[in-house]
Amino acid sequence: MIETFGYPVVSKRVSQYVGEVQRAKGETATKRLRLTGMTSRGTKSRLGEIPDVWKPLVTCGFRVSDKCCDVLKKEPLARAMKNFGPPFVGTRAEESMQRELSYKHYGCNAYHMKSPRSTPIAFWTGQDVREYIQRELLPYSPLYDMGYDRSGCMWCLLGAHHSDDRRFELLAKTHPRVYAFCRDRLGLFDVLAVVERLWGERYRRRTKQAEPTVSPSPNPALAGFGILKGG
Ligand code: SF4
């Protein structure tokens, strides 16, 4: 996925927008929207624009994309839905802002969405889930006993730049060979270093401390990192 499409970083929306600009051929309306927020009607759309802090990702030396979610999750689900109808999905509002907004907007039974689905535990807390598992003696993934609070894709960088995110520290302890693969073959931590530096710049701007200028390209953090350069 990474070699074919690029890295999923920051959030799905940022990955989608940055990838669209990187792949744009010439000065397209989408590229202008993503970089300036200007729509084809001449109005400003902040939601359609890449936040300033993440714009340097466009020229950071590696490809960014949200396509892996389409290929690994959305497209198989769409195929299955043709045979089985709308799915039951175990996502919960407290897991992300996007899921919270979706729950507030559509509720649990979102059958009028473009991709209809039911999310019957959308309003549950993590504690609700744990209590239900204990009460009903349900089997669950051993990953949760290892300290993980999610059991998604091991190489995903979405949200990994937040200072309280410990997914790769845990991975180094629980799955050292996968960790080494992520580091040596996928170059994940070189990419994460770039994202964390940009995020740190934003933090420093907010606190009005002295700061060096971000110089995204060519990127010293990617020295020796050959897997996707120039893609
Ligand atoms: S959750 Fe998985 S499929 Fe979705 S962006 Fe992350 S790595 Fe890709």
Q: Give the pLDDT score at 228.
A: 32
121 assigned to some structural domain = yes
Q: Give the pLDDT score at 225.
A: 29
Q: Give the pLDDT score at 97.
A: 83
**Under 8 Å between Cβ of 3 and 227:** yes
Residue nearest to atom 2 of ligand 1 (CA): 153
Residue 8 has pLDDT above 70, yes or no: yes
109 assigned to some structural domain = yes
Residue nearest to atom 4 of ligand 1 (CA): 69
Token pair listed for 121: 């535990």
Distance of CA 42 from the midpoint of ligand 1 (Å): 34
Long-range contacts of 149-154 (CB under 8 A, 24+ apart): 150/95, 153/68, 153/72, 154/178, 154/182
Q: Give the pLDDT score at 202.
A: 66
Q: Which of 73-82, 94-103, 204-213 has the lowest mean pLDDT?
A: 204-213
188 assigned to some structural domain = no
Percentages helix, strand, coil for the chain, rounded to the nearest 5? 50, 5, 45
**Under 8 Å between Cβ of 231 and 7:** no
Instruction: Mention every residue, 6+ apart, whose C-beta is less than 8 A from residue 187.
Output: 62, 222, 225, 227, 228
Q: Give the pLDDT score at 92.
A: 94
pLDDT-based confidence at 203, cuts 50/70/90? low
Residue 108 has pLDDT above 50, yes or no: yes
Mean pLDDT of the chain: 85
The segment with the largest mean pLDDT, out of 27-31, 92-96, 99-103, 152-156, is: 27-31
Domain that holds residue 97: 86-139
158 assigned to some structural domain = no
pLDDT-based confidence at 224, cuts 50/70/90? very low
128 assigned to some structural domain = yes
Q: Give the pLDDT score at 93.
A: 95
Mutate to test the pocket of ligand 1, among 5, 71, 72 (most ligand atoms within 8 A of CB): 72
Q: Give the pLDDT score at 216.
A: 36
Mutate to test the pocket of ligand 1, among 10, 71, 73 (most ligand atoms within 8 A of CB): 73
6 in contact with ligand 1, CB cutoff 6 A: no
72 in contact with ligand 1, CB cutoff 6 A: yes
201 assigned to some structural domain = no
33 assigned to some structural domain = no
pLDDT-based confidence at 219, cuts 50/70/90? very low
Token pair listed for 119: 């999310």
Q: Give the pLDDT score at 151.
A: 83
Mutate to test the pocket of ligand 1, among 153, 154, 167, 186 (most ligand atoms within 8 A of CB): 153
* Closest alpha carbon to 56 in 175, 171, 170, 201: 201
Residue 213: count other Cβ atoms within 10 Å of its Cβ.
5
CA 65 – CA 223 distance, rounded (Å)? 21
Q: Give the pLDDT score at 129.
A: 92
126 assigned to some structural domain = yes
How many helices (H) and strands (E) in the chain?
9, 4
19 in contact with ligand 1, CB cutoff 6 A: no
CA 119 – CA 41 distance, rounded (Å)? 36
Domain count, the chain: 1
- CA of 69, closest atom in ligand 1: 3
Residue 156 has pLDDT above 70, yes or no: yes
Residue, of 123 and 111, whose pLDDT is higher: 123
Q: Could you read off the pLDDT of 49-71 as tens digits, one per residue?
A: 999 999 999 999 999 999 998 99
